[in-house]
């Protein structure tokens, strides 16, 4: 991989929804920090004038963080627009012209995965792959076989070290903090193993539904959309061995090793649900069996975690919008002093969103003469959210060539291996009511000490 920082930002999908909601605000943030002093080449199939694209960018910024006049002036001056035909490699030569003297572009591809190979191939044919990096939005395939085929196709044009597989969840400060919190606190790290931990549960709950993504969502479902990537990445950050050496290579290696130790799921490890009314959405098949909810039980074949269940619960139209990890340690086996039953188990709670929280649960004596206790939480950190938005960080890291927060090929393939046996209609789908915590059948996958519902 070339050591140089990228010197042009080539942006496929510039007229899409993701660009409007996330990428233009991220570009403004990068410009404000002085990280984007280079040509910005927007690429699309729509015939737009540059003034139309600038107006769209301004509308995006107005709807998001607001327009920074100085940063927007820079964005406007650096922005180019190129119309390409994905079936005509010759049109990709226009990108070369728009880049000017740049030799090490970052090609950011915010397009459906079925065109990844075509874009990579045409970039190579136009002489735009050598010395370049390519950043791709998830999903990376729809199962193990397609993920392997996609990587093989991409490697024909770009070496693995130049491919940045982008999943915004890894760019969250609160996800990155999981590994730091473990590594920096030996007392905590020493207790994260099967002799001490009773269970781990991860909940990703959303009050909203498919929000205009119905056609896409009906082709993937909750397991493909957020479990295979977001949730298994969180498990990997929480359960991996902490590397002794510095740098992104070691960190990514340990995440991949952990995923390789996950046991593949079986139908007994999952309950799928579909929220009532989902099939009324435009773009959803009338006989759809796509899940909008899933509860899963994951196990890890390692000396550290053998026998510890990792429970994952994700769903649309649940009571709250929150993503949270709860590690419960094993409870005391007998009552303490005058208590009639053992005290509550200790826990650590890691809130990933929408706010960021790290809290310990411990037992303390209640006020009064009786020697009995109660569970209290000590909040170590509470923040309204990530100080830096995920796309600000990830695009900046890709420009710098820092791959720490990007998924490796083997990690992607291993995560697909884990979920492959339960994809599609491998298990029944059960109805649940909007605003509930999923179908009653999900109780079969409940942690041994019960779910903790985020508030």
pLDDT higher than 70, residue 340:
no
* φ, ψ at 137 (rounded to 5°): -80, 145
Question: Average pLDDT in the 198-207 region?
Answer: 96
Question: What average pLDDT does the segment 400-410 reach?
Answer: 89
Answer left, alpha or beta for residue 450, where phi above 0 means left and psi between -120 and 50 means alpha: left
Overall average pLDDT of the 117-124 stretch:
95
Q: What band does 39 get if pLDDT is binned at 50, 70 and 90? A: very high
Same CATH fold assignment for domains 8-137 and 170-445:
no
* pLDDT-derived band at 387, boundaries 50, 70, 90: low
What burial class does residue 195 get, using C-beta atoms within 10 Å of its C-beta: 0-12 exposed, 13-18 middle, 19+ buried? Answer: exposed
As annotated, the active-site residues are 230
Cβ atoms 399, 5 nearer than 8 A = yes
**Dist CA 19 CA 9 (whole Å):** 14
Question: What confidence score (pLDDT) does residue 1 get?
Answer: 43
Quick one: pLDDT at residue 366?
82
The contacts of residue 228 (CB under 8 Å, 6+ apart) are 139, 415, 416, 418, 419
Calculate ∠ Cα 373-377-383, nearest 5°.
170
Is 354's pLDDT higher than 60? yes
Residue 80 in contact with residue 50, Cβ under 8 Å? Answer: yes
- Averaged pLDDT, 341-364: 90
Range from 49-58, 257-266, 272-281, 385-394 carrying the lowest mean pLDDT? 385-394
| Tens digit of each residue's pLDDT (9 = 90 or more) over 46-56 | 888 999 999 99
Tell me the C-alpha distance between 252 and 236, whole Å: 10
Supply the pLDDT for residue 229.
92
Q: Order across the sheet with 163-166: list the strands.
A: 79-83, 40-44, 8-12, 105-109, 133-137, 163-166
What's the mean pLDDT in 5-22? 92
Answer whether residue 337 shows pLDDT above 90: no
Whole-number Å distance between alpha carbons of 8 and 98: 10
pLDDT surpassing 60 at residue 129: yes
Please state whether beta strands 79-83 and 40-44 pair in parallel, antiparallel, or not at all (unpaired). Answer: parallel
Domain ranges of the chain: 8-137, 170-445
Q: Is pLDDT at 27 greater than 80 in this prediction?
A: yes
pLDDT band for 31, please (50, 70, 90 cuts).
Answer: very high
Residues 51 and 62: their CA atoms lie apart, in Å, by 16
CA distances from 317 to 3, 108, 208, 374 (A): 46, 32, 5, 33
Instruction: Please compute, for residue 370, the number of CA atoms within 13 A of its CA located in the half-sphere on the CB side.
Output: 8
Kindly state the tokens that stand for 55: 């107006």
Q: Measure the CA–CA gap between 155 and 174, rounded to whole angstroms.
A: 32
374 close to 363: Cβ distance less than 8 angstroms? yes
SS (H, E, C) 12-66: ECCCCHHHHHHHHHHHHHHHHCCCCCCCEEEEECCCCCHHHHHHHHHHHHHHCCC
Domain 8-137 class in CATH: alpha beta
From 166-170, 330-334, 337-341, the region with the lowest mean pLDDT: 337-341
Residue 101 confidence (pLDDT): 93
> CA dist 268 to 22, 40, 442, Å?
38, 49, 11
Mean confidence (pLDDT) of the chain:
91
Q: Label residue 128 by pLDDT band (50, 70, 90).
A: very high
Q: Given a cut of 70, is residue 152 above it in pLDDT?
A: yes
Q: Which helix (H) or strand (E) holds 378?
A: strand 373-383
User: What pLDDT shows up at residue 172?
Assistant: 81
* Overall fold of domain 170-445: Dihydrodipicolinate Reductase; domain 2 (3.30.360)
Binned at pLDDT 50, 70 and 90, residue 371 comes out as confident
């Amino acid at each position: 991989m070339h050591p140089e920082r990228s010197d042009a930002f080539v942006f496929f999908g510039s007229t899409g929804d993701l660009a409007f909601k996330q990428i233009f605000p991220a570009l403004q943030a990068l410009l404000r920090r002085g990280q984007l002093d280079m040509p910005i080449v927007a690429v699309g199939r729509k015939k737009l004038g540059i003034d139309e694209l600038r107006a769209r960018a301004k509308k995006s910024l107005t709807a998001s963080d607001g327009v920074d006049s100085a940063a927007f002036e820079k964005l406007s001056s650096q922005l180019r627009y190129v119309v390409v035909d994905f079936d005509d490699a010759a049109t990709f030569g226009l990108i070369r012209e728009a880049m000017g003297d740049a030799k090490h572009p970052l090609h950011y591809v915010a397009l459906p995965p079925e065109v990844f190979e075509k874009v990579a191939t045409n970039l190579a044919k136009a002489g735009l792959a050598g010395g370049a990096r390519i950043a791709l939005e998830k999903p990376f395939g729809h199962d193990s076989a397609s993920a392997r085929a996609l990587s093989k196709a991409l490697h024909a044009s770009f070496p693995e070290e130049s491919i940045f597989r982008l999943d915004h969840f890894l760019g969250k400060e609160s996800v990155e903090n999981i590994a730091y919190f473990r590594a920096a606190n030996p007392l905590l790290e020493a207790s994260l193993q099967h002799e001490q931990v009773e269970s781990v549960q991860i909940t990703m709950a959303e009050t909203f539904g498919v929000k205009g993504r119905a056609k896409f969502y009906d082709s993937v479902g909750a397991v493909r959309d957020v479990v295979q990537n977001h949730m298994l990445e969180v498990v990997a950050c929480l359960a991996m061995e902490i590397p002794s050496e510095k740098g992104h290579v070691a960190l990514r290696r340990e995440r991949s090793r952990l995923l390789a130790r996950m046991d593949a799921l079986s139908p007994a490890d999952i309950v799928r649900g579909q929220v009532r009314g989902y099939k009324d959405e435009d773009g959803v098949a009338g006989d759809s069996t796509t899940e909008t909810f899933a509860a899963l039980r994951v196990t890890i074949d390692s000396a550290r975690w053998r026998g510890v269940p990792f429970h994952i619960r994700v769903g649309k139209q649940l009571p709250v919008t929150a993503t949270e990890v709860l590690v419960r340690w094993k409870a005391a086996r007998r009552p303490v002093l005058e208590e009639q039953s053992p005290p509550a188990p200790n826990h650590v709670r890691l809130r990933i969103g929408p706010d960021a929280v790290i809290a310990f649960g411990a037992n303390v004596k209640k006020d009064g003469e009786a020697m009995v206790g109660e569970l209290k939480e000590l909040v170590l950190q509470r923040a309204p959210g990530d100080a830096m938005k995920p796309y600000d960080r990830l695009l900046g890291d890709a420009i710098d060539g820092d791959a720490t927060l990007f998924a490796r090929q083997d990690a992607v393939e291993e995560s697909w291996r884990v979920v492959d046996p339960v994809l599609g209609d491998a298990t029944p789908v059960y109805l649940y009511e909007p605003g509930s915590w999923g179908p009653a059948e999900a109780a079969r996958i409940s942690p041994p000490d019960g779910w903790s519902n985020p508030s």
